Chain A
């Protein structure tokens, strides 16, 4: 079983729709990052959160530590939001098994059609 599961893997939506991307993880974490990777390959950090909820513009990220689940929401989606969105839990150092540091989901490929 993967340590990080994202859903959906692919999502196509119309401009203006409300988008939700989900992330479940199985490791102990100190924080969780949401990243955006554009078709050209560049990676932008959207959020780092360890509890509750954060909002930047049309983007909202929430995390439930007890349930080991995080969501990324996009309100009033726009074609420029088309990208791969990656959930990256940050392990506690020494939490056992695998590499410390960020572990990554496989990403959600989002396409917003005009």
Chain B
């Protein structure tokens, strides 16, 4: 059973471009979480999704960031018009049960660098 997969592992974008980060949860997991780790800082919750639904996006910046988890395919975290401050490691995690009821399994992360 493959673990949580994220791609790309490394992404370089120029300021103003769009970044798309993909997360494929573990088989059988329908809950996905996105976290951001800024350089020299701790992890921060961004968004919690189930298939076709955003459950909690209270950690997402209000502008330029969006997330989806379609019925088919991976979850996508999209950052429009990237700025240098978006440079960070973005981790997704998945769980088979709702938040608070099960362990979360983390992907290897996508390291975004904005030049």
Using CB atoms and an 8 Å cutoff, list the residues of chain A in contact with chain B. Answer: 30-31, 33, 35, 41-45, 48, 86, 88, 90, 92-93, 98-107
Contact = CB atoms under 8 A, between A and B. Distances in A.
- DSSP class of B's interface residues: helix, strand, loop or mixed? strand
B45 to A, nearest CB: 4
Interface in B8-38: 33, 35
Interface of B: 33, 35, 41-45, 48, 56, 58-59, 89, 91, 93, 99-100, 102-106, 108-109, 111
Closest A-B pairs by Cβ, 7 of them: A30-B100, A99-B59, A43-B106, A101-B45, A99-B58, A104-B43, A48-B103
Contacts, number: 65
A100 B42 contact: no
A88 B42 CA distance: 11
Contacts of A98: 58
